[in-house]
């Protein structure tokens, strides 16, 4: 069983690896988002055990997903994209595009 401290250390390492592979501008955005999260804690932080149980539930639900239904959903989304029925959420610099 992974301890809370080991899980935290593993996540910090994974985040560091991701940040190291990003362009500097994206790393700055990641840092700013981390600062935002730090200054806006959740009302009631979940325990490690609650998070692990939730992850296990998601894993089980995903494993039970009908592959054909998922493939059909993916195909319909790709068709909408290819037909130009969608608009991008982010611009070329990775900034969120607000729609009115």
Domain positions in the chain are 1-41, 43-85
Q: Which two tokens stand for residue 72?
A: 């059909």
Mean predicted lDDT score pLDDT of the chain: 89
Helix ranges (H only) for 4-84 are 4-21, 24-39, 48-63, 67-82
pLDDT of 100 > 80? The answer is no
pLDDT of 72 > 70? The answer is yes
pLDDT of 21 > 90? The answer is yes
Ramachandran sector of residue 42 (left: φ over 0; alpha: ψ -120 to 50; beta: rest): beta
pLDDT of 46 > 90? The answer is no
**pTM for the model:** 0.43
């Amino acid at each position: 069983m992974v301890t809370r401290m080991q899980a935290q250390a593993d996540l910090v390492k994974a985040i560091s690896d991701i940040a190291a592979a990003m362009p500097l501008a994206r790393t700055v955005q990641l840092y700013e988002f981390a600062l935002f999260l730090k200054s806006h804690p959740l009302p009631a932080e979940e325990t490690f055990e609650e998070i692990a149980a939730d992850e296990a539930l998601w894993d089980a639900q995903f494993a039970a997903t009908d592959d054909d239904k998922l493939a059909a959903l993916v195909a319909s989304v790709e068709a909408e994209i290819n037909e130009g029925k969608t608009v991008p959420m982010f611009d070329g610099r990775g900034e969120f595009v607000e729609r009115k």
